[in-house]
Chains A and B, each alone.
Chain A
Amino acid sequence: MFDRERCDCGRGLPADRDRRADVVSIAQGIYRPEGGTGSGPVRWTSRDRLPGGHFSTGSAQRDGRGRLQPRDRHALAQRVKCRAGLAPVVPRHVFFTSTAGSYGEELPANYAAAKSGVIAINKVLTLETAGTAIRTNVIAPQRGRACWNYIRSRPGRQRNPRQC
């Protein structure tokens, strides 16, 4: 596999033999990480990053024959191409915050302040990286307890009746 010291930032080039072996396994549609055998979810390590991303993903699903799902196989192939210099590295920043930082919830104030700082960092980074290929966004997973009636629906689209 790849050299952790050289590839931790996602821009290092792996050794030729390792790169070739990984590409071959991708072409066959089979990916077995270190220590992973048999079926079940594949746990990607922190050095296995999505194409151009600066974060690691959680897990990828395999079927009983050890084959990755097409979407995961494509993402993995793109990652290998980026590592090998065959595809441009497209930087992406995805921050995670909370609704406590966006509009406030019944949670400690220091938690809300820290989460609001994440949104502020995203705004500053957006201005600093304007005009480049860098994309910065924030995701706030919801727990769905607050009232969301004030949220407007897009014209022509109906909100999910299960929500709120």
Chain B
Amino acid sequence: MLELYSEQTGATAESTAMLRDRMRADQVAMLVGALCSPRTKVTGQVFGVRGNEVIVFSEPLSAR
């Protein structure tokens, strides 16, 4: 899929290698294992994983 993305967007080999480093399967698998743990209580959330960073998208914030 990364190769297809690089062809469509004209990305360089360096940027493709950066993408591959930031979207490794083991980095996502860590969060998947945590969410599937019998002791987890998190539900209904949207998480983003970029490299070793985990972000919660679906956390409402009152702006005013």
Contact = CB atoms under 8 A, between A and B. Distances in A.
The contact size tier of chain A is 35 or more
Interface in B36-64: 36, 38, 40-53, 55, 57-58, 61
A135 B49 contact: no
Interface stretch (A1-9, A26-34, A155-163): A155-163
Q: Which residue, B40, B45, B48, has most C-beta atoms of chain A within 10 A?
A: B48
A13 B44 CA distance: 30
B17 interface: no
Please report whether the interface of chain A is mostly helix, strand, loop or mixed according to DSSP: loop
B51 A90 contact: no
Contacts of B55: 142, 148, 151
A129 B36 CA distance: 16
Interface in A97-142: 97, 99, 102-103, 106, 119, 122-123, 126, 129, 134-142
Contacts of B47: 137-140
A88 B25 CA distance: 28
13 contacts: A53-B36, A78-B38, A90-B38, A94-B35, A99-B48, A129-B43, A135-B42, A138-B45, A138-B47, A139-B49, A140-B47, A143-B50, A144-B22
Interface of B: 9, 18-19, 22-23, 25, 28-29, 31-33, 35-36, 38, 40-53, 55, 57-58, 61
Interface of A: 50-53, 55, 57-58, 71, 75, 78, 88, 90, 92, 94, 97, 99, 102-103, 106, 119, 122-123, 126, 129, 134-144, 148, 151-152, 159-160, 162-163
